[in-house]
Amino acid sequence: MKERLLEFLKSENKSSAQLAEEIGVQPSGISHILSGRNNPSLDFVLKMLEKYQFLSTDWLLFGKGTMYKDPKMQSLFEYENVNDRKNSAVEDKTGSESIPVDELRAEKEVLNRGTTPSLAVKRSEISRVIIFYSDSSFDEYSPK
């Protein structure tokens, strides 16, 4: 498990001290695991899996499968490779409307050129945005 912990730290670009702080353990405990002196406790593993819910349990415990549960999530500004689908329709996440792939391709090409899209895809209007903070406070914004 020591190797997988090192791989996780490298993948997430974290130091062992950052990991210790984030999961609430002593830095020396992680140091002992990484040096091979101690094996991780069940408490340590549970804290990691609770904090990093995207981490695969099978990978962390047994080295089976991939490090992350799901494939890498696309960022907000990345587009799905629509060329893999042959003129099928892509359903909106709400399931309420179906957008033809040709329209998606046209929109992607227009966005790549940096011009105004000629084919506008219908989208719902934002009614409010709520931002939750780690201290359990929140801010709410509504369009005017």
Q: CA 39 to CA 43: how far, in whole Å?
A: 11
Residue of higher predicted confidence among 1 and 95: 1
CB 35 within 8 A of CB 20: no
pLDDT of residue 94: 46
Q: Which residues pair with 131 in a beta bridge?
A: 139
Assigned token pair, 48: 């990691």
What integer is the mean pLDDT of 133-140? Answer: 84
Domains along the sequence of the chain with CATH: 2-62 (1.10.260.40), 82-141 (no CATH)
At 43-62, the pLDDT tens digits run 888 998 899 888 888 888 88
**What is the maximal distance between C-alpha atoms in the chain?**
63
CB 40 within 8 A of CB 49: no
**pTM of the predicted model as reported, rounded to 2 decimal places:** 0.48
**CA-derived radius of gyration, the chain:** 22
